[in-house]
Amino acid sequence: MTLSRRAFFLLFLLCNNSCTALISPKRESLTFHDNFLTKKNQKPFLISTHLSISAGLFPEDEPQRPKPKPVMEPPPVVETVLEKTSAPPENLSPKVVVLGATGRIGRRIIRNLMALESDITVVAFVRDYEKACEVLYDELIIEREDNKGPKLQLVVCDLVPPSYVAGYDPSKEVTKDDDDEEFAVSASRFYKDDLDEYDYRAKAKYDAVDLNPLLPLHDALLNATAIISTVGTVRSTLPFQDYLLKPWRVFISPKKWCTDKSHPYYVNYMVHKKVLEYCEEAQRLRNKQWRNWQNADNRRKSKTTRKNDDSNNEEKKNDRIRIIRITDACLANPAWDLVNVVTNVVRSLVFRYQAKCEKLLASSNIVDTIILRPGDLVDDIRNETITTMSVGIGGKLPPPINVGRDDVAALATFSAFSDLNPPAKKKREAQTTEGETISINQRKSRRNRSKNIEDNKPRHWNIAVGWSGDKNSGFKNAEACMQYIVKEYSKQRKSARRKKKVRDAYFMSRVIKQPIQRLFQKTKSKTIKPYKLFAFLPLFLFVYPTLLSLMVDIGKKIPVVKNAGMTLIVASEPYRRQAFEFSKDKLLKLTIRRSIAQKTGLLID
């Protein structure tokens, strides 16, 4: 019976011309191979099919053997998008944000930026749109046929919103456009419901909706490359309101008591605090993108490159956001300087909050900052044949310091685009003992990795700007000044690294001297400038004694006589006699008038 079954299967398979059957003598399975020809000059491909046959089909064969376990193939390598693409994330196109664009320096900066031939975006922040159109008229009407070159954008925004000022009451706020409020009122009257259901501003109080008045500033700084701030304020001190009636206000933050938003605390300090906060947020986002790309690029290189192949190890630069702030050259002087004391007393401690702003910007570990300290600003144009520009590294220049606003604007423009990390010299190749060819710079970087760490730190520069009559000590234009500044700061970094290397070579220096030097560096960085104290001393030593003496003199010269009769309040003997005689004559006249009135019934003046 079994032989007839086998013969039947063999006869069935042989009848099919397109299939060949192979019977495995050791495994109870049949494998069918079907051949197909698709086109000419192409090899046939095989489609294999396995048919399991029950154990009772061939009982004469050998007993079943255990099937081998299937071998697990490794999963396919899944590459992320960053690993597939070797190109780094591109740096953003140049975008410069100018704060205080309608000022006398700000409008010159806008003019310089719009005169550039590169394709950049200029964002000008203004408070008054009509004034901006008048001041920036020439820049707004520029038309280019090829649509290339700088593009100007105007943003109307109040950098000191009323909600940031002390004593803010939203119920008393008066807005120019009350369309939303009028719509809410009309809707509430029609449906006879509460106003809070239609007014989104009232609803925000309960729903915790954050209506940020500085949202345009946040959006503009999100993809900016440089910020130039020329904002400032001139506020005269209100003596009785600010200090005389409540002298302890000198030592209290104006955020708790000052309701004037033109105070230097709000304009010079709080505005730049918000700017720095938004810039650091944007820079952290960019650093995260670059870090992800570098990790993916390192994984890709570890698979493709050799161990000692350093040919592709050049690090790409991630551009940092740069803040350029224009302050005053008097900040280099001590707090007890006569000019600083008088200016702080008269101008609401303006230098204190300028210095506080500089200290805040210098404390950033993410963003580059450049502080320009011009001297006395003038509108005159510099005579290039006689006068040159001079800059002071560290923010100091010998007085007197005069400088034109055009030169300050030109230096601010160049500082927004200059490379603060200049490229190294041309690489020279050298051969190591192992026969590997590397550059000299790579060999030095292998020995000392601290140089790369030092170069990656943010830059915080203080630069004083002025005019000089000496051609040897000055520069022709702002571009030459910026080149000199970059070279000088690079020399300072090199000398600092060299000194550190010498100090680290000695054991006693590492164990004893370095902790002491670090302690002194911390105290040196926290330079104390007691502007408030030296502004309060003139009030305490001169103003208050003068007011008291004036009050005493007024009390002595003006006697006070009560209407009741002979009671006198006087301070000295001669005035007392005059007051007594005066009161005696007045009393006699009153008695005569009363007697006449009683007899005649008439009142005589």
What single string gives the DSSP state of each residue in 434-490?
A: TS-EEEHHHHHHHH-THHHHHHTSPPEEEEEEEEES-TTTSBSSHHHHHHHHHHHHH
**Does residue 578 lie in a domain region?**
yes
The domain tally of the chain equals 2
Q: How far is CA 432 from the centre of its chain?
A: 45
Q: Of the candidates 37, 52, 67, which is a domain's last residue?
A: 52
Among the listed residues 233, 252, 237, 256, the one whose alpha carbon sits nearest the alpha carbon of residue 538: 237
Q: Of the candidates 16, 37, 52, which is a domain's last residue?
A: 52
Q: Poorest-confidence range of 101-115, 161-175, 383-397, 405-419?
A: 161-175
**Does residue 472 lie in a domain region?**
no
Provide CB contacts within 8 A for 467, sequence distance 6+: 382, 387, 388, 389, 390, 401, 402, 403, 404, 407, 474
Q: Poorest-confidence range of 303-307, 491-495, 531-535?
A: 303-307
Model confidence at 344: pLDDT above 60: yes
| Number of alpha helices (DSSP H) and beta strands (DSSP E) in the chain | 22, 17
Model confidence at 596: pLDDT above 90: no
What pLDDT shows up at residue 210? 53
What pLDDT shows up at residue 367? 95
Q: How far is CA 344 from the centre of its chain?
A: 27
Q: Which domain holds residue 572?
A: 533-600
What pLDDT shows up at residue 206? 44
**Does residue 421 lie in a domain region?**
no
Average pLDDT over residues 576-588: 54
Q: 117 near 149, Cβ under 8 Å?
A: yes
The per-residue pLDDT of the chain, averaged, comes to: 73
**Does residue 249 lie in a domain region?**
no
Model confidence at 539: pLDDT above 60: yes
Average pLDDT over residues 295-314: 64
**Does residue 437 lie in a domain region?**
no
| Better pLDDT: 421 or 48 | 421
What pLDDT shows up at residue 61? 47
pLDDT in tens, 121-164: 999 999 998 888 888 877 666 655 566 789 999 999 999 999 88
Among the listed residues 321, 322, 398, 325, the one whose alpha carbon sits nearest the alpha carbon of residue 355: 325
**Does residue 14 lie in a domain region?**
yes
**Does residue 453 lie in a domain region?**
no
**Does residue 595 lie in a domain region?**
yes
Provide CB contacts within 8 A for 285, sequence distance 6+: none
C-alpha 590/C-alpha 601 separation (Å) is 15
DSSP 574: H
What percentage of the chain carries pLDDT values higher than 90?
Answer: 34
Average pLDDT over residues 180-207: 45
Please tell me the total number of residues recorded for the chain in this structure: 605
Q: Poorest-confidence range of 25-39, 250-264, 571-585?
A: 25-39
